[in-house]
């Protein structure tokens, strides 16, 4: 992928003065539901109307989508509102039907990106298309799989490409439905600075009241657009009820989000600074999270030591750790003095925790 500038063309051609917005329900449920939502979004900043027709559900027995019938409803959306349309495709048959119904934007879902076989099948079916194709990140935090998806599509001569960041699944419960792991999206952005990058805060958060904050972080990180699930009756949606917002909420959110534009050198400077600061914030959150995890393990060790009546301070082990960390620090351009200070502070906090457990 040598000339990455061509990747931006479709987005530049839209000449938007705001981030790209893709909105609409998680699933197309009925013709009436689809058209109602579309009409409420008609005069907003929404560029593409989304609706899932074929729904990949993690467990069977849930609503699996209305199927090809829904493509007719999307055609009606376009005819009645002028909005372009978007849906997820997960195999060659879906691609064929979506192209026959002139869907403007197709995306590959997170559960498909994990499978190179499926991505290749979709890429072959799409060969040479000028439709916009967006690749969602794989469910698991694996940048290579995401890059592989993009490369397979690009090799199939699909130039109107982009990616959607929808967060990554974790076994541990976090405050997100899918952990954002922003550093993975940032890494992708560094590799392909011209590849349009869209955030899907609905699937990241899983909760409607967190969508605004995640959208703002994405814009601060220079994402090019947002995909937000929107429903006229979110609580009674047939899929992803907790994360859908009403068209009114979406429109208000678009007004309230701070959009950073690159207009002159001063603005560009502030924009870069802001992006870098947001990157630092992301890493700081991770540092706290990881320190918390380390301390939890130290607590467990504390409980073990208490059981066996062993002393809290184990100097030999501690000196080994320090030696290793100083060497690793050097490789990362971190001074010995800095590593000593940081690890002494961490060690002290562990001892304090363990002493509390011993005496508790």
Q: By rule CB under 6 A, what count of residues binds ligand PEP?
A: 10
In the complex, least distance from residue 16 CB atom to ligand PEP, rounded to whole angstroms: 21
DSSP string, 239-272: S-GGG-B-HHHHHHHHHHS------SHHHHHHHH
Question: Which residues 6+ apart lie within 8 Å of 152 measured at CB?
Answer: 116, 119, 120, 123
In the complex, least distance from residue 239 CB atom to Mn ion, rounded to whole angstroms: 6
The answer to the question of residue 110 lying near ligand PEP (CB under 6 A) is: yes
Choices 15-23, 109-117, 147-155, 339-347 (CB under 6 A): range interacting with ligand PEP? 109-117
User: Which of Mn ion, ligand PEP, none has residue 166 at its interface (CB below 5 to 8 Å by kind)?
Assistant: ligand PEP
In the complex, least distance from residue 246 CB atom to Mn ion, rounded to whole angstroms: 16
Nearer to ligand PEP, 52 or 196 (CB): 52
DSSP string, 109-173: -HHHHT-HHHHHHHHHHHTT--SEEEEEPPSSS-HHHHHHHHHHHHHTT--SEEEEE--B--SS-
Nearer to ligand PEP, 138 or 247 (CB): 138
Q: How far apart are CA 229 and CA 239, in angstroms?
A: 10
Reduce the DSSP state of residue 303 to 3 states and report it.
helix
Nearer to ligand PEP, 176 or 302 (CB): 176
In the complex, least distance from residue 22 CB atom to ligand PEP, rounded to whole angstroms: 9
Task: Decide: 73 and 36 in contact? Cβ < 8 Å.
Answer: no
User: Which of Mn ion, ligand PEP, none has residue 118 at its interface (CB below 5 to 8 Å by kind)?
Assistant: none
Residues from 233 through 272 that contact Mn ion (CB under 5 A): 240
- Residue 348's DSSP bridge partners are none
User: Which of ligand PEP, Mn ion, none has residue 109 at its interface (CB below 5 to 8 Å by kind)?
Assistant: ligand PEP
The answer to the question of residue 166 lying near ligand PEP (CB under 6 A) is: yes
The residue of the chain with the least Cβ separation from ligand PEP equals 109
Q: What does the buried/exposed string (b/e) look like for 268-296 if buried means 16 or more CB atoms within 10 Å of the residue's CB?
A: eeebeebbeebbeebeeeeeeeeeeeebe
Among 7, 26, 119, 125, binds Mn ion (CB under 5 A): 26
In the complex, least distance from residue 40 CB atom to Mn ion, rounded to whole angstroms: 19
Q: What does the buried/exposed string (b/e) look like for 72-93 if buried means 16 or more CB atoms within 10 Å of the residue's CB?
A: ebbeebbeebebbbbbbbbeee
Q: How far apart are CA 177 and CA 61, in angstroms?
A: 20
In the complex, least distance from residue 229 CB atom to Mn ion, rounded to whole angstroms: 6
User: Which of Mn ion, ligand PEP, none has residue 208 at its interface (CB below 5 to 8 Å by kind)?
Assistant: none
In the complex, least distance from residue 140 CB atom to Mn ion, rounded to whole angstroms: 18
- Residue 163's DSSP bridge partners are 135, 197
The answer to the question of residue 149 lying near ligand PEP (CB under 6 A) is: no
In the complex, least distance from residue 151 CB atom to ligand PEP, rounded to whole angstroms: 19
Among 109, 180, 225, 234, binds ligand PEP (CB under 6 A): 109
Nearer to ligand PEP, 137 or 222 (CB): 137
**Residues at the contact surface with ligand PEP, assessed by CB under 6 A:** 26, 52, 56, 88, 109-111, 136, 166, 203
């Amino acid at each position: 992928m040598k000339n990455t500038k061509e990747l931006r063309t479709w987005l530049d051609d839209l000449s938007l003065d705001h981030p790209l917005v893709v909105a609409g329900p998680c699933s197309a449920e009925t013709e009436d539901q689809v058209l109602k939502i579309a009409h409420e979004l008609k005069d907003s900043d929404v560029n593409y109307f989304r609706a899932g027709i074929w729904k990949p559900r993690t467990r069977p027995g849930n609503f699996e989508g209305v199927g090809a019938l829904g493509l007719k409803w999307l055609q009606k959306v376009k005819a009645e509102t002028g909005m372009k349309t978007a849906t997820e495709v997960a195999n060659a048959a879906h691609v064929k039907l979506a192209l026959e119904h002139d869907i403007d934007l197709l995306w590959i879902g997170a559960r498909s990106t994990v499978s190179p076989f499926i991505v290749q099948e979709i890429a072959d079916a799409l060969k040479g298309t000028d439709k916009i194709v967006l690749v969602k990140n794989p469910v698991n935090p694996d940048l290579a799989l995401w890059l592989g998806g993009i490369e397979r599509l690009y090799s199939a001569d699909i130039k109107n490409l982009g990616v959607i960041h929808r967060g990554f699944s974790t076994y541990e419960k976090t405050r997100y439905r899918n952990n954002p792991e922003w550093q993975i999206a940032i890494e992708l952005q560094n590799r392909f600075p011209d590849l349009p990058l869209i955030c899907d805060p609905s699937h990241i958060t899983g909760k409607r009241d967190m969508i605004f904050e995640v959208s703002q972080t994405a814009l601060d990180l220079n994402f090019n657009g947002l995909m937000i699930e929107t429903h006229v009756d979110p609580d009674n949606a047939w899929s992803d009820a907790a994360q859908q917002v009403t068209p009114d909420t979406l429109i208000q959110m678009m007004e309230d989000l701070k959009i950073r534009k690159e207009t002159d050198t001063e603005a560009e400077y502030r924009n870069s600074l802001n992006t870098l600061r947001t990157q630092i914030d992301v890493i700081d959150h991770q540092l706290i999270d990881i320190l918390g995890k380390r301390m939890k393990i130290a607590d467990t060790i504390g409980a073990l030591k208490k059981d066996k009546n062993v002393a809290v301070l184990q100097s030999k082990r501690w000196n080994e750790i320090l030696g290793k960390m100083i060497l690793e620090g050097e490789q990362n351009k971190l001074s010995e003095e800095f590593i000593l200070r940081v690890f002494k502070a961490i060690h002290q906090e562990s001892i304090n925790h363990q002493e509390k457990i011993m005496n508790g």
